[in-house]
Structures are given as C-alpha cells and as structure tokens.
C-alpha cells in the first residue's frame, strides 16, 4: 500500500503574473498547520514532496518539507490548468511504497483526487486553501485509491 497527500497551497494574495503570487500571512500560517498535520502521520515519513513551480505552492511545500523533514522536487505538469490525465499516467509509474506529498492548485487538486478515488474525469473535490486529501492505494490509477482523510488544518 502507498500513501499520497494531495495538498492545495495556502491562501495567496492577488497579483500578476499568476505564477508569482505569494502566500499571505494567513497562507503562511495555513502552510505551517498543513505541515504539522502531515508530520503527525507516520505513513508519510520520508515522503517525497512534489511542488508546482508557482511561488505560492513552493512556499507551501517549503513549510511542509520543514515539518516532515522531506525533500522538495519542483515538477512541471501540476499547475492549475495542467492535464490531470497526464498526471495520473505519471503517477502510475511511481513506486507506491514511497509516500508522496503533492502541493498544487485548484482545480487540479480536486480533479486529481476525484480521478484517483472515483475514476471520474469530470468531477472533483473542492479544496479549501491548505486543504489535504490523504489517499491510500496499491497503484496510483483512476478509481484505485481510497480517501483516508480530508482536512483543512486552518
């Protein structure tokens, strides 16, 4: 069995370009709380952390990495409008025995969670800022994961 935590970034301020938006003070606190919650899950020990290249996601991933003592990889294909199908295909190639924390954006986090748990390509969960879906599966494929927790640390 493997574990995947799908995390939406903390609250971000307004601005352009979208990729440069930073966490607000509240967003920084939310990211710290998300990190604390994730660190309290033994199943996520030693997790790899994938982050969107957008600044607010990288800031959230840094707070999480500090809490779980994990390494961050900034990855392409996990920004707000990226193709969830391509991401699921990428996830199917992973060794599920190594836990993964994915820090990204709406609507991708909602669509990914829906695809992995329900197999649906059109529906997805609504994530609050710093919301976390904790999934468990034998393989990261459509409809193969079980939702074990859905929390908003803030």
Q: Where are the domains of the chain?
A: 2-151
If pLDDT is split at 50, 70 and 90, which confidence band does 153 have? confident
CB 144 within 8 A of CB 138: yes
pLDDT over 80 at 85, yes or no: yes
Gyration radius (Cα) of the chain, Å: 14
Say how far apart CA 105 and CA 3 lie, in whole Å: 19
127-144 pLDDT tens trace:
999 999 999 999 999 999
Domain 2-151 grouped into CATH 3.30.2350.10: no
* Global pTM value: 0.96
Q: How does the average pLDDT of the chain come out, rounded?
A: 95
């Amino acid at each position: 069995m493997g574990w995947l935590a799908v995390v939406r970034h903390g609250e971000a301020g307004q601005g352009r370009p979208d990729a440069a938006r930073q966490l607000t003070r509240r967003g920084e606190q939310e990211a710290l709380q998300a990190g604390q919650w994730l660190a309290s899950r033994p199943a996520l020990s030693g997790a790899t952390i994938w982050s969107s290249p957008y600044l607010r996601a990288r800031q959230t991933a840094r707070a999480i990495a500090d809490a779980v003592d994990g390494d961050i990889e900034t990855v392409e294909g996990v920004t707000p409008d990226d193709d969830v199908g391509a991401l699921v295909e990428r996830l199917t190639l992973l060794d599920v025995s190594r836990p993964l924390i994915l820090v990204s954006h709406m609507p991708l986090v909602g669509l990914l969670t829906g695809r992995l748990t329900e197999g649906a390509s059109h529906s997805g969960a609504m994530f609050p800022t710093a919301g976390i879906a904790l999934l468990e599966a034998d393989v990261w494929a459509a409809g193969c994961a079980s939702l074990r927790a859905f929390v908003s640390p803030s």
